């Protein structure tokens, strides 16, 4: 796991290019504290900050092939590099290292852009072809690893994080109003856009080529939702079970210590138990909890797994004081606001893990692939009703609509399923924004989905294509902030393609979310965890913390800087904070977004260092 950056075109020939590239690499040091490397050629400057994982001694970058015609910088890992190397050696390729980076380089040399289809991993990389004067950028299928770029005067600048782009002095930071408005509505930004005007992200499963001042992008992979066909539950369970095991096996490949996150939920518990089967006892596991109440603490479930698997377990209990102290720094690490406050505990657990290992496995992706959120119930039953030509209440085979529906009703008192039925009266984000941003917020379109999908399939597709991108953004930044490589076995592209091919009736069934994954997990994890119907997902008690420090937060929104910035309606923001403190409703999600937008503007547009931003802790009022 690393940070990559580069300048292509006439700016790379400027005397200042070397200084700009070094500043870019320095800004990515948290991603790669173990080493750095630079490559300068006619019209190209490439930089790399390395976190050493595979071939620690000889895997430094940038890396060139034998004749120097191709040079690569890679962020991430290609986990099946051992098998790919063997195939390349049979074709006559010779290797000087044991690294996956050199395998990617020789694969590109042998197969060109078609090499991507053979890679199983998480990656963003750049290859410079000296003979053709062409830059090739590629991003992995699911977008686990980030890549950003902008064009300037016929040249291109790219980097793993947007903060590195700002170090070139070729980009004047200016907020992209449409992206800010979309974040306030969705909690993430879709498509190529970012918070910085003129900066784009290379989309997941896409490549970019830049040659002779011309930029082209194209899609090399996409999700293909199931259209027809049903191989039967037994087939899908057996195939998924094998794929999960093989994915974990591949992601245990490392020349440095590997551990795992453990939340007490089904996804991370399944990953931990599978890894322990592969390694034996002694896997290091890491978790966190909060002291604000049982609704923020899953340690009793975590203990079941650690005892069953015999892991070497470590935990952290972050506090509200630490949250407010670290918030500006987290905004800096994130590059731009995205999803919710879970970045704070994820960062805390990443720091804990980084003190013991360099690589951690996590359970990200299980909810989006296999329908793990309570909000999926409504579209699921809409789809089931649409499929039923005849409704006979209380009759039918298991898995039919009546059986599903009855089990849903019977279980609702023991689960968080009714959450999706609640009609929240929380104010919309448009009410707290400036008039122009409010107008843009009202114009945010619904998610784009392919035709022919039912209500349930549409929600799963949009979450996998859009919401998951926000979660992966947090996964990358929180782990990289701690110089830790985070691997996500459930997002192995083979698992994703299988999940996309599975008829939706196997994803939620008999009143259970993640039905198919539960069948795989039932002989791997403790029965009490398998039976869980409460979806927690490491919730952060910002509702409590915001209420306790309401006046300090309100004072921040009343400040001259916030009023002059003109992003929020200052008085509306103060009113939201006070309503939340009075218990008028849980408005913490909206407060979180407002805080993040203002702090981002202060740091990335106005150029303040995180330590220069006013702290919001203040004195607790409750």
Pairwise CA distance, residues 257 & 25, whole Å: 25
Residues paired with residue 151 on neighbouring β-strands, in sequence order: 156
Q: Which of 46, 67, 217, 41 is nearest to 133 (CA)?
A: 41
Residues paired with residue 465 on neighbouring β-strands, in sequence order: none
Question: By three-state DSSP, how is residue 72 classified?
Answer: strand
Find out whether 286 and 277 touch, Cβ atoms under 8 Å. no
State which H helix or E strand residue 122 sits in: strand 121-129
Q: Give the distance, in angstroms, between the CA of residue 94 and the centroid of all CA atoms in the same chain.
A: 36
Pairwise CA distance, residues 536 & 546, whole Å: 20
φ and ψ at 354, to 5 degrees?
A: -65, -20
Find out whether 171 and 157 touch, Cβ atoms under 8 Å. yes
Q: CA-based angle 407:408:410, to the nearest 5?
A: 60
Pairwise CA distance, residues 48 & 51, whole Å: 10
User: Which residues touch 375 (CB under 8 Å, ≥6 apart)?
Assistant: 419, 420, 459
φ and ψ at 97, to 5 degrees?
A: -135, 175
Q: Which of 81, 142, 141, 129 is nearest to 107 (CA)?
A: 81
Task: Look up residue 553 and give its two tokens.
Answer: 């937060």
3-class SS string, 213-265: CEEEEEECCCCCCCCCCCCCHHHHHHHHHHHHHHHHHHHCCCCCCEEEECCCC
Pairwise CA distance, residues 552 & 596, whole Å: 15
Among residues 2, 115, 276, 309, the one annotated as catalytic is 2
488, with CB counted inside 10 A (0-12, 13-18, 19+), is: buried
Task: Look up residue 616 and give its two tokens.
Answer: 């919001």
Place of tokens 């805080």: 595
Q: Which of 143, 149, 171 is nearest to 217 (CA)?
A: 149
Q: Which of 604, 610, 285, 334 is nearest to 481 (CA)?
A: 334
User: Which residues touch 280 (CB under 8 Å, ≥6 apart)?
Assistant: none
Pairwise CA distance, residues 465 & 447, whole Å: 9
Find out whether 301 and 264 touch, Cβ atoms under 8 Å. yes
487, with CB counted inside 10 A (0-12, 13-18, 19+), is: buried
User: Which residues touch 406 (CB under 8 Å, ≥6 apart)?
Assistant: 394
Q: CA-based angle 83:85:90, to the nearest 5?
A: 100
Q: Tell me whether residue 115 is one of the annotated catalytic residues.
A: no
Residues taking part in catalysis? 2
């Amino acid at each position: 796991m690393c940070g990559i950056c580069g300048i292509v075109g006439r700016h790379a020939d400027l005397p200042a290019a070397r200084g700009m590239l070094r500043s870019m690499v320095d800004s990515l040091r948290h991603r790669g504290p173990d080493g750095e490397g630079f490559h300068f050629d006619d019209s190209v400057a490439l930089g790399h900050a390395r976190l050493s994982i595979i071939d620690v001694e000889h895997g430094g970058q940038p890396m060139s092939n034998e004749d120097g015609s191709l040079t690569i910088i890679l962020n991430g890992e290609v986990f099946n590099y051992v098998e790919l190397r063997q195939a390349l050696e049979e074709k006559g390729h010779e290797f000087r290292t044991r690294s996956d980076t050199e395998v990617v380089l020789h694969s590109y040399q042998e197969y060109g852009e078609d090499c991507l289809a053979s890679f199983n991993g998480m990656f963003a990389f750049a290859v410079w072809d000296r003979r053709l004067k062409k830059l090739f950028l590629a991003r992995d299928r699911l977008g686990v690893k980030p890549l950003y770029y902008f064009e300037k005067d016929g040249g291109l600048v790219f980097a793993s994080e947007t903060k590195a782009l700002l170090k070139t002095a070729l980009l004047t930071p200016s907020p992209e109003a449409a992206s800010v408005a979309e974040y306030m509505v969705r909690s993430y930004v879709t498509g190529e856009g970012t918070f910085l005007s003129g900066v784009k992200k290379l989309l997941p499963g896409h490549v970019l080529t830049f040659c002779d001042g011309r930029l082209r992008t194209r899609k090399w992979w996409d999700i293909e939702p199931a259209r027809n066909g049903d191989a039967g539950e037994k087939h899908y369970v057996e195939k998924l079970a094998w794929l999960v095991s093989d994915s974990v096996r591949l992601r245990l490949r490392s020349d440095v210590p590997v551990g795992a996150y453990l939340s007490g939920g089904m996804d991370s518990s399944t990953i931990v138990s599978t890894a322990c089967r592969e390694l034996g006892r002694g896997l290091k596991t890491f978790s966190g909890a909060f002291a604000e109440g049982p609704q923020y603490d899953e340690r009793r479930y975590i203990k079941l797994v650690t005892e069953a698997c015999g892991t070497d377990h470590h935990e952290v209990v972050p506090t509200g004081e630490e949250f407010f102290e670290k918030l500006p720094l987290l905004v800096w690490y994130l590059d731009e606001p995205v999803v919710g406050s879970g970045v704070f505990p994820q960062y805390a657990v990443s720091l804990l893990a980084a003190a013991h290992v360099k690589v951690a496995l996590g359970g990200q992706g299980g909810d989006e692939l296999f329908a793990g959120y309570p909000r999926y119930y409504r579209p699921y039953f809409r789809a089931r009703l649409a499929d039923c030509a005849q409704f006979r209440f209380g009759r039918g085979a298991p898995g039919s609509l009546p059986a599903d529906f009855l089990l849903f009703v019977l279980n609702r008192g023991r689960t968080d399923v009714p959450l999706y039925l609640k009609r929240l009266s929380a104010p919309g984000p448009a009410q707290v924004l400036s008039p122009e941003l409010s107008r843009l917020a009202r114009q945010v379109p619904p998610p784009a989905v392919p035709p022919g999908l039912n209500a349930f399939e549409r929600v799963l597709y949009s979450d996998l294509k859009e919401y998951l991108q926000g979660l992966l953004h947090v996964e990358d930044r929180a782990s990289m902030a701690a110089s830790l490589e985070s691997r996500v076995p459930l997002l192995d592209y083979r698992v994703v393609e299988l999940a996309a091919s599975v008829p939706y009736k196997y994803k939620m069934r008999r009143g259970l979310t993640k039905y198919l994954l539960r069948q795989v997990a039932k002989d791997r994890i403790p029965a009490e965890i398998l039976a869980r119907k409460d979806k927690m997902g490491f919730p952060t008690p910002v509702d409590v913390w915001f209420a306790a420090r309401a006046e300090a937060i309100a004072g921040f929104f009343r400040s001259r800087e916030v009023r002059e910035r003109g992003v929020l309606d200052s008085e509306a923001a103060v009113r939201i904070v006070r309503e939340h403190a009075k218990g008028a409703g849980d408005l913490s999600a909206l407060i979180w977004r407002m805080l993040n937008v203002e702090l981002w503007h202060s740091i990335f547009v106005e150029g303040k260092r995180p330590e220069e931003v006013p702290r919001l802790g203040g004195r607790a009022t409750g």
